[in-house]
Amino acid sequence: MIKERRSVRKYQNEKVDRKTMEEIVEIARWAASWANFQIARYTLVDDDAIIAKLATDGVKGFSYITSTR
């Protein structure tokens, strides 16, 4: 059970290792879902080229996701 939380807004420019990512997905698997259907699916991506493509192609046509900074 989560008893506390914290927000991190200062990120490090280093990759998370695959084992840590798999542990996070395993923990997320136990999160509550609607009627306990457990329909969430996870895909781990650690290839920089694929991440860049997802970052640009994943928001095409969705004008609300823009940076104004």
Q: How confident is the model at residue 62, as a pLDDT?
A: 72
pLDDT at 6 over 70: yes
What does pTM read for this prediction? 0.55
Express the helix, strand and coil content of the chain in percent, nearest 5 each.
35, 0, 65
Contacts of 48 (CB under 8 A, 6+ apart): none
**Residues 31, 23: Cα–Cα separation, whole Å:** 13
Rg over alpha carbons for the chain, rounded to the nearest Å, is 16
Q: How confident is the model at residue 19, as a pLDDT?
A: 94
Stronger pLDDT, 10 or 67, i.e. the higher one: 10
